[in-house]
Structure 1
Amino acid sequence: MSSLGYTASPVGGTPGADPDLRTHSEDDVTPGEIAVGVIIGRSSEYFDFFVFGIAAVLVFPSVFFPHFSALNGTLLSFAVFSIAFVARPVGTAISMAIQRRWGRAAKMTVALFLLGVATVGIAFLPGYEVLGRTAIWLLALFRFAQGLALGGSWDGLPSLLAMNAPSNRRGWYAMIGQLGAPLGFVLAAGLFAYLYSALSQAEFLDFGWRYPFYVAFAVNVVALFARLQLVMGQTYTQAMQERELEPVSVTRLIDEEGSHVAIGAFAALASFALFHLVTVFPLSWISLYSPQPIVHVLMVQILGAFCAALAIVASGKLADRFGRRNTLGAMAVLIALFSLATPKLLSSGVTGNNIFIIVGFVLLGLSYGQSSGTVTANFSARYRYTGAALSTDMAWLVGAAFAPLVALGLSAKFGLIAVCLYLLSGAVCTLVALGINRALETREGAESGT
């Protein structure tokens, strides 16, 4: 068995086939290359993701919303930030249609090209002082395009791992793709921290903030070739076909197994709610209401991201020992407890802020490491590929899309108790969804006599 949990059969390895076709193909992709390709691809996506999120705090209020207060400008920036998550399920639906007609490679090329163009388009976009409201509309349009692209970049690896990984190593393989999140954040936050410290405020707002978006375009080119090699390799393609991991219509999926999409989205809600509340939200809250230097905040978050990466790896070990669903449920309980301490920590100065960030990142790693595909076994084989993608999209939309906007807006008006309630609601939803999923499995097992 290969290191990714499935047997890499040679191309043409069916009985009676031409022996020459059973030799190793130069187009085959080894399991190690699959893992590297996935991490590179996910890291590039998250790099784009966090570049926009950090800019929404440090740049966009001044460049695109200069006539509003700092708070309202940040809230408007977060509203634009959320547009990508609204677009993401639409991108999934479109990309599945593209894949059914032209293949997985065409889908990935279109998605990553669109992501790169939208990202570099933001880099060249003049601000409000030059284009007026047109600049805001273009920013929103580019953000919508980023969301479409992210929805179209689904590679199906979590589904493949869920069906092929050894039963005692599924948690370990599930966390591989999740490592792209902390890696992407480290790159984005590190680049912004350097530019923010090396340039004057005027230089940073004039041209410095644009460099991370230029870099994102270059990173996407590298990711494009890495992921194209992945999806066009015979090993990967054969494994996907053998497991019937092929795209289906989103409308058909909703009609046939829509309830599984809902359970899959809410089962990961605690992780996705926490995602933005330890990355984007603290940066906005501290920049508005604390004298703590921005570069210092970014460096603490970078340290937190490294802790999250280690926690993601640890989540694989925990899930293999205690079960993925049990691990995700336990993390939801810890996130609920963490939420109760949030108001105190964020109102306790630099020390409290730093503790909130570091502990939050550790919990994020432990939960997010197992948030992908935890309940994808609910889907029948035919719908698992599209079902896993759409469940993830909906988890982002329901749990993370509006988290910075809602948390900052409500906290500014009612206090930090709003952050507590937001996180607590996400944890409760996760526990309820996991409970429903367990009940459904028990009922189905009883009906089948197992």
Structure 2
Amino acid sequence: MTTIDNHASRHVTMDEIVTTVIMARVTDFFGFFVYAIASAIVFPQLFFPNFDPVTGTMLSFLLFSLAFIARPVAGLLGRRVQRRLGRQWKVVAALMILGTSTVAIGLLPGYEKAGVAAPLLLAVMRFLQGIGLGGAWDGLTLQLQNAAPKNRNGFYAMIPQLGGPLGFVVAASLYFVLTGFLTDAEFMQFGWRFAFFAVFAVNVVALFARIRLLEADFGGDRAPLQSAPFRELLDTQWRPIVVSTFLPLASYALFHMVTVFPLAYALLYTDQPISNILLYQLMGAILGVFGVIMSGILADRIGRQTVLWISTSLIVLLCLSIGTLESAPWVFILLGFLLLGFAYGQASAIVPNRFPAEFRYSGTAVATNLSWLFGAAFAPLAGLVLTNAFGLWAAALYLLSGVIVTSVTLYLFQRWTRRQLA
């Protein structure tokens, strides 16, 4: 295994980079999905009991989007902190905000005890979670790509993406156990809170490994890991930022349509036990891991752009199966997770290398936060609103909108790339 020396004579192996990147991303997504699942099965009853179940869930999903709205703001604040204190302290501060707000959510009283203050406090804590998530951008994925062998870029680009399905496996497993061993009353009273406390404990452990790698000097060109002047970034790199923002939208829209939306739909419109849906999703997330790995293997053989075209086209076919959520939810869930892994595995790795080295870190950070905002923030809410107004088939329209945006962006990106080569 190749070793990379830093100026302090400490050796950092590729194994250490890979392990730390996976650990960091799994813990990030674990906390992400702990809140996401609770927003479907806990918060509508706990914080909005004075509304009908559908409206309460819509309000819960509206608060769910606040973290994504906060992420671009956090990116701008994080630039200032990084410029003054450095990348390591920026990440530490962001993760402390994330951890504190997450634990605070687990301690919040419900509407019956605190009235309207309860959902307002939840909104504040959710916004702070977004500040923590957006500010914790650490560039580890860029370090991994920079250190990867040139002929295996696709495989190494998918490694950070494993955090999505693996993080969901951990979060869903925890809820599956809690809902299985506790009564409904016990789960709503105190059981769900343990999931948020677990997030803080896991993040503290992962923080040390992440900081250790952030402090390593990998030698060579450090430009890809430096923050660039914001005005110059927008003036000169607006095109790759726009492409990087909208290219992964199909996979990001699918993200919450297979993780959060089925839980809400099962509770509101079917008699399916929530434990069954969680079990199907656990099985699906495992398939999603294989989908991510498959995307990396195929990307090195047929190219990332071809993989993205194939996965985007398959999402159209997946939309035809959304009706199975009514009576056979495992069909849509299993197929959806497998396709999610395949689409998500390479969606965000195509453009970053098109940034000049000095803009790569900042450009990728800005585009990542904007992608989550446009692609994923309102997916559960849009799916539920469309379903409530027109029927389950209409929820597929949100997925199709992501497919259209990704397809148009990929087409324009290929034309732009050909002009650059010419």
* TM band (smaller chain): over 0.9
- Matched-pair identity in %: 47
1:138-217 map, 5 Å: 138-217=121-200
2:120 is matched with which residue? Answer: 137
Give the CA deviation at 1:333.
Answer: 0.7
Partner of 1:283: 263
- Give deviations 1:287-322, integer Å, cap 9, x for gaps: 111111101110110010111011111111011111
Is 1:111 aligned to 2:94, yes or no?
Answer: yes
Alignment of 1:25-424 (within 5 A): 25=10, 28-235=11-218, 238=219, 241-342=221-322, 344-347=323-326, 349=327, 351=328, 353-424=329-400
**CA distance in structure 2 between the partners assigned to 1:171 and 1:56 by the alignment:** 34
Is contact 2:355-2:363 (8 Å) kept? yes
Aligned 8 A contact 1:162 1:377 in 2: no
Asked if 1:445 is matched to 2:412, the reply is: no
User: What is the aligned counterpart of 2:6 among 7, 11, 20?
Assistant: 11
The separation in 2 between residues aligned to 1:341 and 1:51, in whole angstroms, is: 27
C-alpha separation between the residues in 1 aligned to 2:277 and 2:393? 22
Stretch deviating more after TM superposition (61-70 or 150-159): 150-159
What TM-score results when the alignment is normalised by the length of structure 1?
A: 0.91
Aligned partners of 1:262, 1:434: CA distance in 2, in Å?
Answer: 11
1: CA distance between counterparts of 2:26 and 2:90? 19
* Cross-structure match for 1:15: none
In 1, the alpha carbon distance for the partners of 2:379 and 2:35 equals 15
Describe the SS at the equivalent of 2:109: coil
Distance 2:414 2:145 in 1: 17
Between the aligned partners of 2:64 and 2:207, the Cα distance in structure 1 is 24
Shift of 1:243: 4.2
Per the TM alignment, residue 428 of structure 1 is displaced from its structure 2 partner at its CA by 1.5
Q: Compute the displacement of 1:202 (Å).
A: 1.3
Distance (whole Å) between structure 1 residues aligned to residue 420 and residue 136 of structure 2: 33
Are the aligned partners of 1:162 and 1:376 in contact in 2 as well (CA < 8 Å)?
A: no
Measure, in 1, the Cα distance between the counterparts of 2:397 and 2:30: 29
How many residue pairs match? The answer is 422
Paired residues of 1:96 and 1:249 also in contact (CA < 8 A): no
Q: Which residue of 2 is the match for residue 17 of structure 1?
A: none
CA distance in 2, matches of 1:188, 1:127: 22
Cα deviation, 1:131-170, whole Å, max 9, x if unaligned, reads: 1111111101111111111111112133334445333211
The whole-number CA distance in structure 2 between the counterparts of 1:223 and 1:188 is 16
Please say if residues 142 and 224 of structure 2, whose CA atoms lie closer than 8 Å, have aligned partners that are also in contact: no
Aligned-partner SS, 1:29: strand
Q: In 1, distance between residues paired with 2:287 and 2:228?
A: 38
The Cα of 1:367 is off from its aligned counterpart by 0.8
Q: Tell me the secondary structure at the aligned position of residue 337 of structure 1.
A: helix
Q: Quote the offset at 1:206 in angstroms.
A: 0.9
Give the partner amino acid of 2:100: V
Structure 1 position 30, deviation (Å): 2.1
2 CA distance for matches of 1:266 and 1:49? 21
| SS of corresponding position for 1:68 | coil
Pick closer, same or farther for the CA change 1:362–1:380 going to 2, 3 Å.
same
Cα separation, 2, equivalents of 1:79 and 1:225: 33
Q: Give the number of the structure whose alpha-carbon radius of gyration is greater.
A: 1
Contact 1:158/1:372 (<8 A) preserved: no
**Separation (CA, whole Å) in 1 of partners of 2:168 and 2:6:** 38
The change in CA–CA distance for 1:250 and 1:129 in structure 2 (over 3 A counts) is farther
Runs of 5+ unmatched residues, structure 2? none
Q: Deviation per CA, 1:391-440, whole angstroms, max 9, x where unpaired?
A: 11111111110000010111111112222211111111111111111111
Question: Does structure 1 retain, via aligned residues, the 8 Å contact 2:21–2:141?
Answer: no
Aligned counterparts of 1:244 and 1:363: Cα–Cα separation in 2: 31
Q: Give secondary structure in 2 for the equivalent of 1:370.
A: helix
Q: Distance in 1 between matches of 2:349 and 2:52?
A: 41
Query: Does the 8 A contact of 2:69 with 2:373 survive in 1?
Result: yes
Gaps of 5+ in 1: 13-20
Amino acid at match of 2:385: G
CA deviation after TM superposition for structure 1 residue 328, in Å:
1.1
RMSD: 1.5
Instruction: Tell me what 1:18 maps to.
Output: none
